[in-house]
Amino acid sequence: MAYVALVKIKLPFFSVRNPESFQVGSSLPIPPPSALMGSLAYALAIKKRLSPDEALTKVRDYVALARATLVSEAPAIPNPILLWRYRILDKKREVLKLIRTEKHSYIDIKSALERKYKDALYREYLFIHNISAVYVLKKDKVLSRDVFYLISRLGDTESTCSVTDVQMLTYREIQMKSVETKYPLIFNEEFIDDIKGDYMIIKMTDESRAMKAYVIPIRRRFIETKRGVKAVIYEPSKVSVNLRKYVRVYVFNNNYVVDVPI
């Protein structure tokens, strides 16, 4: 049997830094496959008492594809936040030398830490209601539902979350040249002939942390509040993709996850 884990994740906000952003912490609109794999690896490490490397190796051995999509209860709203960061680990030797110097009082050390080893960063967060994550398990590989319920973070260290529902569903693996999907797929011009619908093309890290361009079915639009304030929102979308060659597609409950080779 072949299974897919459909995981509903509830979170107040998340942030995964866009790998192509420069000097600002703009976020991807959805968690990339690498973040989904890392979150599951953490959950498996807790469940099985594994080291991080052991857990990640096992997850990559079990999971063929990991994809996320927004859920339509409410739009995702990006907002910048100013973060204060202490760079103590970056300057570990200097900080230890400062602390061990007898002539420095507590006030001296505290002032030095705040002046020399603290900086600010504008980081973008997406305030959101729910995300749906799909883990396509390889044939004859099974992970128990309770492992997915242990997922507790999706993105950076502040992006805590909770899993509200996990469904283990069987899937069919078929070959298709025309497909409609709400899940991201790799953008490869050799395979893709035409795309219709609202989408963004963004580079993200895949299940093995390799950088690839993805077609992300998301509608980005501006809204205006009653007070006249304009804001950007992201909404879930679907795309119809025509391909030049047959590709592997995983089908479950009338959902399609497209595996475009690179």
- Per-residue pLDDT, 102: 64
CB proximity list for 207: less than 8 A, separation 6 or greater: 33, 34, 37, 60, 63, 65, 66
Q: Where are the beta strands (DSSP E) in the chain?
A: 3-10, 13-14, 63-70, 77-86, 118-127, 130-137, 162-170, 172-181, 185-186, 192-197, 200-205, 211-216, 218-224, 230-236, 239-252, 255-259
Q: How many residues does the chain have?
A: 262
Do β-strands 130-137 and 63-70 pair in parallel, antiparallel, or remain unpaired? antiparallel
- Per-residue pLDDT, 23: 64
Closest CA to 15 of 85, 80, 84: 80
Is residue 82 pLDDT above 80, yes or no? no
More confident residue, 114 or 53: 53
Site of tokens 């976020």 = 27
- Per-residue pLDDT, 84: 66
Is residue 80 pLDDT above 70, yes or no? yes
SS3 labels along 171-235:
CEEEEEEEEEECCCEECCCCCEEEEEECCEEEEEECCCCCEEEEEECEEEEEEECCCCCEEEEEE
Site of tokens 């973060």 = 83
More confident residue, 32 or 121: 32
Is residue 73 pLDDT above 80, yes or no? no
Q: What is the pTM of this model?
A: 0.84
- Per-residue pLDDT, 15: 87
- Per-residue pLDDT, 213: 96
More confident residue, 90 or 257: 257
Contact 66, 223 (CB under 8 A): no
Is residue 6 pLDDT above 90, yes or no? yes
Tokens at 65, concatenated: 């594809």
pLDDT band at 212 (very low <50, low <70, confident <90, very high): very high
d(CA 80, CA 2): 41
- Per-residue pLDDT, 89: 65
